[in-house]
Amino acid sequence: MSEPVGGNGRGMKLHTKILLGLAIGAVLGVAANLMLGADHPTVEWINKYLAGPVGQIFLRMLFMIVMPLVFASIALGVAGLGDIRNVGRVGGKTLAYFLVTTALAATLGIILVSAIRPGSRLDPTVRSELLATYAGDAATKVEASQAGGFGIETLVNIVTRNPVKSAVDMDMLGVIFFGLMFGAALTMIKPESAKPMMVWLQAVQDIVIKIVEIAMRLAPYGVAGLIFGVTSRFGFALLVPLGNYVMVVIGALILHTVVTLSLFVRFGAGLSPLLFFSRIRSSMVTAFSTSSSAATLPTNLAVAEQNLGIPRHVAGFVLPLGNTMCMNGTSLFEGITVIFLAEVFGISFTIPQMAVVMAMSVITAVGAAGVPGGSIPLLVGILAMFGVPGEGIALVLGIDRILDMSRTTVNIIGDLTATCVIARSEGVWSAADVPAVVGGMEREVKLDESPDWPKPAA
């Protein structure tokens, strides 16, 4: 396994560097604003020839790989189901659970952020200046999207006439539809004909994920440049809403876990939520510390069998699929972040447009790579759909590490909840099958007790 985008174990971790870049850029930008003013020649020179170019190079690297990542991930995900005409009962139940819970998570996030509106706590003048400064030709797209609303033409336009043009125009819905059709068609041709294309798509996905890693290593400098640009123009005004934004995201994640997922555990799996959470702590700790669903999969598999008593054939099917498709925390985070940044830039959404944000959060969360920062390029793509300036990502990227750790934890809780619900619905498991543990606490998970499970990379 390639090393996660979190650091290499030597020196300062990448997420620490990104946070440091955010802090340095913000402090220098605020100081320049207070001491020199936004119109001072020195400040303008730094923004034009130093901070601006560095930030734009980082942004362009993210935009560069959005469409290839979406297409490869969606096509591989569909093709990986096997013969789409014969998706079995368990597969149907599993996919339905993933889509329902991920949609509920995104909806909860959008409702909370719309009610609390952390991005609206900006002076209207500052908001207008932000949009004028950074939106550029995106302002035309915003006006067009708000004027056109959401109707039958929107649905028709999802079926793209030209997938290449859709990719060029950042029409993510068109690319997603083409990816769905491409993956479905792969399942309908001879395996020997489909195999080379599957190998090619997997190679494309691996390459794009590697580019994500490279881009994220440029993130400390890109974030510093971007955040200097906005704070040198607007001082403290943009920093005030961030604390409220973080509280909304973490609060929504906690609410989804203790209410939505706990209800699925209690009524779908017939298991006490307290017992369930006590038995999956190893997975929660691994997910929180690594920020990677992929890195947590071996622990998840062992926890499901050893601590929950899930039959191996059920866990072995549901958990790997959930590792890619059950992204409750990611969809919730994306929905909140899109609405938050839109508010910061003075862009308002109608209810139908919020429904589109919810749908895109679900679809792109499914396509997100299971590595730290894997959802950021797709999030940038959603922002572009609604004309939100890409520079806005700098406001949240510096504090994304703690949010990434938190949403990954919710993702894997959703995976394990799904395993219990599906196993019970198939009649092969019940709460009575949970192994007894002295004191009711989670036993120490040992991966070597389950030789068939994947072992984590050294």
Q: What is the fold, at CATH topology level, of the domain defined by 14-447? A: Proton glutamate symport protein (1.10.3860)
Rounded-to-integer distance, Cα 394 and Cα 378, Å: 15
Q: Picking from 149-153, 346-350, 386-390, which range would have the lowest pLDDT averaged per residue?
A: 149-153
Q: Is the pLDDT of residue 86 over 80?
A: no
Q: Please answer whether residues 363 and 330 qualify as being in contact, where contact means their C-beta atoms are separated by less than 8 angstroms.
A: no
Q: Is the pLDDT of residue 55 over 80?
A: yes
**Tally: H helices and E strands in the chain:** 21, 0
pLDDT tens-place string over residues 156-208? 777 889 988 888 876 767 887 888 789 888 888 888 888 899 899 889 878 88
Rounded-to-integer distance, Cα 389 and Cα 13, Å: 28
Residue-level pLDDT at 269 = 93
Contacts with 158 (C-beta within 8 Å, 6 or more apart), sequence order: 173, 174, 177
Global confidence as pTM: 0.67
As given in the structure block, the two tokens for residue 71 are 């297409």
Closest CA to 48 of 215, 232, 234: 232
pLDDT tens-place string over residues 361-402? 888 776 565 555 566 777 877 887 787 877 677 777 767 767
| Lookup result for tokens 């700790």 | 285
State phi, psi for 7 to the nearest 5 degrees.
Answer: 135, 165
- Sequence spans of domains, the chain: 14-447
Percent of the chain with pLDDT over 70: 77
C-alpha pair distances (Å), 370 with each of 147, 164, 227, 390, 405: 36, 26, 27, 23, 12
What is the pLDDT of the chain when averaged over all its residues? Answer: 78
